[in-house]
Amino acid sequence: MDHITTAGVPAAGKQAPAKTRWYKQLYFWVLTAIVVGILVGWLAPSAGIAMEPIGTTFVNSMKMLIGPIVFLTIVGGIASVADLKKVGMTGLKALTYFQVGTILAMVFGLVAINIFRLGDGVNADAGSIKTSDSAAKLIDAGQHQEWWQFITHIIPSSIAGPFVEGDILQIIFIAVVFGIALNAMGKVGAPVLDGVQRLTGVMFKILGFIMKAAPLGAFGAMAYAVGKYGVSSLTSMGGLIALFYVTSILFIVVVLGSVMAFLKLNIFTMIRHLKEEYMLILGTSTAEPALPGLMRKLEHAGVKKETVGLVVPTGYSFNLDGAAIYLSLAALYIAQATNTDLSIGQQLGLLAVMLLTSKGAAGVAGGGFIALTATLTTIGTIPAAGIMLIFGIDKFMSECRAIVNFTGNAVATLFIARWDRTLDVDRARRVFAGETVEPLAATMQAVPAAPAAEVVPAAQPAAASAGDARAGGPAPAGPTGVVLSHNEAAASAGHASADRRPAYSETV
């Protein structure tokens, strides 16, 4: 990492670091680990199953950071804006976009399964379908899931509970309330805001440590998945899996690609820029470990911190394009397999119900099956026990679901930033193209640090000497300078506001 001067630019004489060779980059080792994991699970299933603790330990270590990072990012973004109305409008715009995107994704799934009708000819008898214990629990949870529960579930029963349980939706609620309150405190809350920014830097530093173990985590998760469920699951229902993957790819290229074209950006350069996160998702079968990296890279690409902090975490609960495609495909497949005829009107009603039930299981283990069962139970015409027809292949579709969800949230954040007229399109284009771009800290510090004589007037020698002793010199620099500016707020309020920046910007 280059030395950052008080002006926020690399020190004189320091050249930009050379690009890391491909065989030294994280995505290469994660991809290699995935291939090795597949081979181990296929050739030695018992050994692959034994690798489960490696994968789960890595995923849990990443989930450990998601709650604090989401909380600190949202609080820091909301508390540092001057106009809270803009934050509210950003939230409303995001929710509007999420609903439109979800509808389009479900329509894609409905059209695909109506064209190819893979369930015809299965002739499954719903009354004779046997459910496993794990599937029975999910069916029971779905049957008792009400469409309105996600609204009441947003408010937690305690402050610590959501962080312990990893409930992102409740963490978002707490963070928004805390951020608004901190913003309303004004200058009194400035030290707390500074602490939030510093803690954010600490969390991303810990994230960097954990990411070094990503190849191990991907290997363990993939070896377990293939060893546990076997390749036979892929071949037995390969048609449905292939249809889901093709439909998802078309949705990314056609729908999300069109949104990116509207923004005058390229969907493929963005995907290439996020390749490390995609490899992580592919290896762990979940998008959650990639959330912190996505937030960091989008901010580096020119999206404002408050927009990233609000839209990305919220999208992980409300903007699930991959899950929407999966739900529509699965529901119609079960209907066709059990010889349940649905008219176009009934299919549109099914879509309307799924818009609500899909939100009810956001962030819950087995959420896809819970949402699917809740939908089938609400409609009443499709037997809920039919989910056993696709239970065995769900694991092999989870990677694609997570990738589409992740891509949809990245595009949504860029679109909302453009809608707010805060997106630096030129910077985003250059970052996605792989060009060397000035660190964000430099652009956030448009005003250079003032000389000591201007920050601390000569009439206050005691304050000046205290500042020199604490900063190690006449001109405060780096994080120590930020602390000094808050302690000397009465004498240098302007300098304090100019020197405040997210502590983790230099490490992007």
The secondary structure of 182-221 as a DSSP string is HHHTGGGGHHHHHHHHHHHHHHHHHHHHHHTTHHHHHHHH
State the average pLDDT over residues 263-291: 90
Task: Please give the Cα distance from 446 to 499 (Å, whole number).
Answer: 9
pLDDT at 174: 93
Contacts of 209 (CB under 8 A, 6+ apart): none
pLDDT in tens, 238-247: 788 899 999 9
Q: Whats the size of the chain, residue-wise? A: 508
pLDDT in tens, 456-489: 444 444 444 444 443 444 444 444 334 444 444 4
pLDDT winner (highest mean) among 94-98, 287-291, 494-498, 504-508:
94-98
Q: Which H or E run includes 62? A: helix 52-79
pLDDT in tens, 77-122: 888 877 788 888 999 999 999 999 999 999 999 999 999 988 888 7
The phi and psi torsions of 259 (rounded to 5 degrees) equal: -60, -45
pLDDT at 202: 92
pLDDT at 123: 80
- CA 499 from chain center: how many Å? 29
Q: What is the chain's mean pLDDT, rounded?
A: 77
Position with higher pLDDT, 406 vs 137: 406
pLDDT at 92: 92
pLDDT at 136: 61
pLDDT at 423: 92
pLDDT at 462: 42
Task: Please give the Cα distance from 54 to 230 (Å, whole number).
Answer: 19
State the average pLDDT over residues 422-428: 93
Task: Please give the Cα distance from 65 to 29 (Å, whole number).
Answer: 22
pLDDT at 134: 58
Q: End-to-end alpha-carbon separation of the chain, Å?
A: 9
Q: How confident is the model at residue 508 (pLDDT cuts 50, 70, 90)?
A: very low
Contact assessment for residue 211 and residue 290, using Cβ atoms and an 8 Å cutoff: no
pLDDT in tens, 33-78: 988 988 998 899 999 999 989 988 988 888 888 889 889 988 988 8
Q: Is the pTM of this model over 0.75?
A: no
Which pairs count as long-range contacts for 131-134, CB under 8 Å and 24+ apart, including other chains?
Answer: 131/385, 131/388, 132/388, 132/391
pLDDT at 288: 82
Contact assessment for residue 413 and residue 311, using Cβ atoms and an 8 Å cutoff: yes
Q: How confident is the model at residue 128 (pLDDT cuts 50, 70, 90)?
A: low
pLDDT in tens, 345-401: 888 888 888 887 776 555 555 566 777 777 777 777 888 777 777 876 777 788 888
Contacts of 225 (CB under 8 A, 6+ apart): 41, 285, 395, 396
Residue with tokens 């005003």: 447
Task: Please give the Cα distance from 157 to 166 (Å, whole number).
Answer: 14
Position with higher pLDDT, 200 vs 16: 200
Is 233's pLDDT higher than 90?
no
How many Cα neighbours within 13 Å face the side chain of 232? Answer: 5
pLDDT at 140: 63
Q: How confident is the model at residue 227 (pLDDT cuts 50, 70, 90)?
A: confident
Contact assessment for residue 48 and residue 223, using Cβ atoms and an 8 Å cutoff: yes
Position with higher pLDDT, 252 vs 223: 252
State the average pLDDT over residues 170-190: 90
Is 300's pLDDT higher than 90?
yes
Contact assessment for residue 290 and residue 277, using Cβ atoms and an 8 Å cutoff: yes
pLDDT at 452: 41
Closest listed residue to residue 45, CA positions, set 217, 280, 213, 233: 233
pLDDT in tens, 153-178: 788 889 998 898 878 778 888 998 99
Burial annotation 19-36 (CB, 10 A radius, 16+ → b, else e):
eeeeeeebbbbbbebbee
Q: How confident is the model at residue 404 (pLDDT cuts 50, 70, 90)?
A: very high
Residue with tokens 């001057």: 82
